[in-house]
Amino acid sequence: MSDNKIPYKIYLTEDEMPKAWYNLRADMKNKPAPLLNPGTHQPLTAEELSPIFCEELVQQELDDTTPFIEIPEEIRNFYKMYRPSPLVRAYCLEEKLGTPAKIYYKFEGNNTSGSHKLNSAIAQAYYAKKQGLKGVTTETGAGQWGTALSMACSYFDLDCKVYMVKVSYEQKPFRREVMRTYGATVTPSPSETTEVGRKILAAHPGTTGSLGCAISEAVEVATKNPGYRYVLGSVLNQVLLHQSVIGLETKAAMDKYGIKPDIIIGCAGGGSNLGGLIAPFMGEKLRGEADYRIIAVEPASCPSFTRGTFSYDFCDTGMICPLAKMYTLGSDFIPSANHAGGLRFHGMSSTLSQLYHDGYMEATSVEQTSVFEAAEMFARVEGILPAPESSHAIRAAIDEAMKCKETGEEKTIVFGLTGTGYFDLVAYQKYNDGEMSDYIPSDAEIAESIAKLPKVD
Amino acid sequence: MSDNKIPYKIYLTEDEMPKAWYNLRADMKNKPAPLLNPGTHQPLTAEELSPIFCEELVQQELDDTTPFIEIPEEIRNFYKMYRPSPLVRAYCLEEKLGTPAKIYYKFEGNNTSGSHKLNSAIAQAYYAKKQGLKGVTTETGAGQWGTALSMACSYFDLDCKVYMVKVSYEQKPFRREVMRTYGATVTPSPSETTEVGRKILAAHPGTTGSLGCAISEAVEVATKNPGYRYVLGSVLNQVLLHQSVIGLETKAAMDKYGIKPDIIIGCAGGGSNLGGLIAPFMGEKLRGEADYRIIAVEPASCPSFTRGTFSYDFCDTGMICPLAKMYTLGSDFIPSANHAGGLRFHGMSSTLSQLYHDGYMEATSVEQTSVFEAAEMFARVEGILPAPESSHAIRAAIDEAMKCKETGEEKTIVFGLTGTGYFDLVAYQKYNDGEMSDYIPSDAEIAESIAKLPKVD
């Protein structure tokens, strides 16, 4: 079955792993717009950001000129426990589809957090430790980011306070227990532990919480407790920087075997995986050295690229965070409750938004029943049960491979398999039982939340 | 932190993967005693076994002279999707313990079934397919074996009927959903689908099932439906043969870097992982070419090696299967309900039992709270949430490493990390909440079940 002696899995050696992250912004002519102070609408300075983020992370957030930033040895040592991640040739999927396309995927799920989130969690924990902080706070919805952060904090002996949306806390006890096993304090949000939490509980006694509320609580705890900072798992420039390790490894593995991709596909919620996977390829494209089709895949029920507007907006539904210029559905937009497939963020990384705006990449949206259909097929032939988020990329990769079958083109497709679906089996059960449906927001629904965008000149 | 340029993870290339399984029995002077017909107490013939198992598996079960049996290319191709598995140098654990010992572990959890069980499941499915069968039946308790088998059957397009102990079916819906996603039919046992199931339900309307009952249903379905056979995930010689891929890879990876282990440690329930891990090392020991300390680790609540008797017994609690000569607590023995850590089988592989009887290996038993303590420490420093079963080996490896700390000896320890604990979080929660306790069966309890052993001359 194998082809040109390309193995099923390409592993780099530890020596071949990247020693620096690649900062895509350095090669962008049109830089991503700066974060704005939500009060003054002026670009945020390092001073303004440092009560929220660690100092070195603030520098990374603001640095749009330095192309390579060294990965500290401590982080590289941690990476060695679960990286390099394999670049897998999907021989069995190709055979199943009967396509002449050559399909590869970069698999980020071989770690206990189950996703690529750990790549940035360990970096953010390292800088917090280096600055002598006591701990960090964050919010988590389904729990992927919270799990990654609790692992990273445990490694550096940092305190980790996770505010977990109450409904997830109750319905996803397994994620919660992984975090507790790693020593994190997991608090269902809204809680009595914060002022904002108490306020919300008083006003809405029966509420099951929301991501916006959890963010507010995490930020309050970070700013009120000396020695704490708040950390975020996606959207930010610093996160895309750390995630460039995915793309750098992918490119190094492909270069080793002389493989040149035609199409690069990633799922997009806040953009951390997609931004990381495409980074070095997009760099070549920006510098005019190579051309690639780059496709962002988002859920039809939360279509920020394909149906949102390119505008300044709040990153959080609580509207307390800085303003970012991005493709957004409005911070008021909440995907339908029947949406089980993740990628629920209303906006998108500023870096990716600028690149999309400038025509360097495409975007497509897919419905969740077709996503789970692709997930199931993939699981059966490739032996990995994929996360629903990752399965958006699988869906698009299969669709592109089937186009190749029609045209006979032997295109090389690479996609990001961001993680495993071991904690998403409630959604799989829904699919297995034939109880999953699709939801596409109406134009009026999107227009309504976009109408509430903050006015920025 | 790294040592002599030994990487964190040693991966073989696909070319270096084993092309044949190693049949440990070929090098044993005292062969494991044959399976007996439960009615006549005569050794079972190939003819008697073939209505239950596939023909080639019957040959493998009975063959105690051929040292190497080729791994068919189809199985090797499947292995390439998740193998070679990494041999990991536990640098972080060593540092945490402050031990001069060098600790390695062979990690079998990087696949969706989450354990080493897939190594034999794919082999058993392959031979069933090759024989032109329609499908296979099996039982599953917690679901690890059922998951592995459903993945293997899905790959070869075989029907897979899993009888899952009813209480697990209801309390572990996630394992069930993985099996369903792979297309298996999962039936809570006892069920109305079999004669034995209907009989048990009539007699005990409220029963939550048992492994013995599930085995009986699975065997009934296999023998009554043309084109079906029954398969088993541990204990049998054929399973140990397939699992030798673990030990062969481990030895090849160590040889590549000139590493010679002093101590080899594996957890032992039915013995499939331990038998596979130690196979080539034990072969050298049997042939007088090398010496190793080999340690089986079992739960104090189900201590077949350390407190059982070496005798013929039924493999199943339903007493319908062949008799095997093994260390056993009696097929009537059921570990305490508070035992959460797996490895609940009352007996032990005949091959390992003979080797233990002949003094080629040691055995030790550990209590579950100390097992989960080791699991938590390991998860925090090595970044992998281990299965409770695997954590028995972690416990023993830590204990040996701490002895080295006392004596200053730089011993090389390798243990089998059989799988991940992602579906065992109910047990972790119990431990996190301080609600886990230990149970050690009394001598009287063990004597009572051993008194019921079948009388074989």
Contacts of A14 in chain B (CB under 8 A): 7-9
- In this structure, the answer to whether residues A106 and A120 fall within a common structural domain is no
Task: Tell me the C-alpha distance between B228 and B221, whole Å.
Answer: 8
- In this structure, the answer to whether residues B372 and B429 fall within a common structural domain is yes
Task: Tell me the C-alpha distance between B199 and B195, whole Å.
Answer: 6
What is the mean pLDDT of the segment spanning A241-246? 98
Opening angle at CA B275, ends B215 and B166, nearest 5? 25
Average pLDDT, chain A: 94
Cβ contact A419:A147 at 8 Å = no
Whether the per-residue pLDDT at A55 is higher than 70: the answer is yes
Q: Is there a domain that residue B26 lies in?
A: yes
- In this structure, the answer to whether residues B263 and B286 fall within a common structural domain is yes
What is the mean pLDDT of the segment spanning A143-169? 94
Which residue from B minimizes the CA distance to A83?
A: B9
Contact state of B425 with A155 under an 8 Å Cβ cutoff:
no
**pLDDT at residue A1, as a whole number:** 43
**pLDDT at residue B206, as a whole number:** 84
Cβ contact B119:B276 at 8 Å = yes
> What tokens does A430 get?
């829904």
**pLDDT at residue B148, as a whole number:** 97
Contacts of B7 in chain A (CB under 8 A): 13-14, 80
Mutant choice from B96, B181, B378 vs A, greatest count of A C-beta within 10 A: B181
DSSP A302: S
Contacts of B376 in chain A (CB under 8 A): 181
Cβ contact B300:B367 at 8 Å = yes
Q: Is there a domain that residue A409 lies in?
A: yes
CA distance B128 to chain A (A): 18
Domain C-terminal end among A166, A195, A230: A230
CA distance A400 to chain B (A): 23
Q: Is there a domain that residue A162 lies in?
A: yes
Contact state of A432 with B383 under an 8 Å Cβ cutoff:
no
**B319-322 contacts at long range (C-beta below 8 A, 24 or more positions apart):** B319/B38, B319/B212, B320/B38, B320/B215, B320/B216, B320/B219, B321/B38, B321/B215, B321/B219, B322/B35, B322/B36, B322/B37, B322/B38, B322/B44
- B171 close contact with A: CB closer than 8 A: no
**pLDDT at residue A2, as a whole number:** 46
More confident residue, B382 or A168: B382
How much of chain B is in helix, strand and coil states, percent to nearest 5?
A: 45, 20, 40
Q: Which residues of chain B have pLDDT under 50?
A: 1-2
**pLDDT at residue B2, as a whole number:** 46
DSSP A112: T
Contact state of A380 with B182 under an 8 Å Cβ cutoff:
yes
CB–CB contacts below 8 A, A to B: 121
- In this structure, the answer to whether residues B210 and B295 fall within a common structural domain is no
- The structure's pTM equals 0.95
DSSP notation for A346-385? SS--HHHHHHHHTTS-EEEEE-HHHHHHHHHHHHHHHS--
Closest CA to B395 of B341, B437, B349: B341
Q: What 3-state class would DSSP assign to B403?
A: helix
List the 56-85 stretch of A: residues with Cβ below 8 A of B: 77-78, 80-82
Q: Is there a domain that residue B305 lies in?
A: yes
Q: What's the first-to-final CA gap in chain B, in angstroms? A: 58
Mutant choice from B2, B9, B73, B171 vs A, greatest count of A C-beta within 10 A: B9
- In this structure, the answer to whether residues B314 and B348 fall within a common structural domain is yes
Contact state of B82 with A383 under an 8 Å Cβ cutoff:
yes
Contact state of B9 with A151 under an 8 Å Cβ cutoff:
no
Residue B28 contacts by C-beta under 8 Å, 6 or more apart in sequence? B64, B286, B351, B354, B355
Contact state of A385 with B178 under an 8 Å Cβ cutoff:
yes
Whether the per-residue pLDDT at A370 is higher than 70: the answer is yes
Q: Is the complex ipTM more than 0.95?
A: no
CA distance B397 to chain A (A): 19
Contact state of B80 with A7 under an 8 Å Cβ cutoff:
yes
Domain C-terminal end among A204, A230, A256: A230
pLDDT per position as a tens digit, A182-231:
999 999 999 999 998 998 899 888 888 877 788 889 989 998 999 999 99
Which domain covers residue B9, as residue numbers?
Answer: 3-17+83-114+244-450
Task: Tell me the C-alpha distance between B122 and B138, whole Å.
Answer: 14
- In this structure, the answer to whether residues A201 and A343 fall within a common structural domain is no
H or E element in which residue B328 lies: strand B323-328
- In this structure, the answer to whether residues A120 and A257 fall within a common structural domain is no
Closest CA to A105 of A381, A356, A436, A330: A381
**pLDDT at residue B1, as a whole number:** 42
- In this structure, the answer to whether residues B258 and B327 fall within a common structural domain is yes
List the 111-130 stretch of B: residues with Cβ below 8 A of A: 111-112, 114
Contacts of A117 in chain B (CB under 8 A): none
- A46 close contact with B: CB closer than 8 A: no
- A177 close contact with B: CB closer than 8 A: yes
Q: Is there a domain that residue A425 lies in?
A: yes
Task: Write the residue in B7, B82, B422 that is nearest to A14 by C-beta.
Answer: B7
- A428 close contact with B: CB closer than 8 A: yes
Task: Write the residue in B92, B112, B385 that is nearest to A383 by C-beta.
Answer: B112
**pLDDT at residue A4, as a whole number:** 60
Which residue from A minimizes the CA distance to B1?
A: A77
- In this structure, the answer to whether residues B281 and B379 fall within a common structural domain is yes
Mutant choice from A75, A77, A88, A181 vs B, greatest count of B C-beta within 10 A: A181
Contacts of B428 in chain A (CB under 8 A): 177-178, 180-181
Contacts of B105 in chain A (CB under 8 A): none
Q: Give the domain CATH number at B282.
A: 3.40.50.1100
**pLDDT at residue B343, as a whole number:** 85
Beta bridge partners of B314: B323
- A105 close contact with B: CB closer than 8 A: no
**pLDDT at residue B130, as a whole number:** 98
**pLDDT at residue A378, as a whole number:** 97
Q: What 3-state class would DSSP assign to B194?
A: coil
**pLDDT at residue B214, as a whole number:** 87
User: Pairing state of beta strands B323-328 and B309-314?
Assistant: antiparallel
Contacts of A177 in chain B (CB under 8 A): 425, 428-429, 432
Contacts of A87 in chain B (CB under 8 A): none
> What tokens does A172 get?
């996803």
Chain-centre distance for alpha carbon A305: 15
Q: Is there a domain that residue B76 lies in?
A: no
Domain C-terminal end among A199, A230, A261: A230
**pLDDT at residue B142, as a whole number:** 78
Give the strands of the sheet with A293-299, arranged side by side: A9-10, A87-89, A102-107, A412-417, A263-267, A293-299, A362-366
**A216-220, A261-265, A286-290, B252-256 — which is least confidently predicted?**
A216-220
Task: Tell me the C-alpha distance between B307 and B288, whole Å.
Answer: 29
Q: Is there a domain that residue A353 lies in?
A: yes
Residue where the block lists tokens 């298996």: B184
| Tally of structural domains, chain A | 2
Q: Is there a domain that residue B400 lies in?
A: yes
- In this structure, the answer to whether residues A31 and A110 fall within a common structural domain is no
**pLDDT at residue B317, as a whole number:** 66
**pLDDT at residue B204, as a whole number:** 85
Task: Tell me the C-alpha distance between B433 and B430, whole Å.
Answer: 5
Cβ contact A78:A382 at 8 Å = no
Cβ contact B83:A10 at 8 Å = no
**pLDDT at residue B237, as a whole number:** 96
- B4 close contact with A: CB closer than 8 A: no
**pLDDT at residue B371, as a whole number:** 97
- In this structure, the answer to whether residues B126 and B214 fall within a common structural domain is yes
CA distance A22 to chain B (A): 24
List the 341-380 stretch of A: residues with Cβ below 8 A of B: 376, 379-380
- In this structure, the answer to whether residues A290 and A389 fall within a common structural domain is yes
CA distance B133 to chain A (A): 20
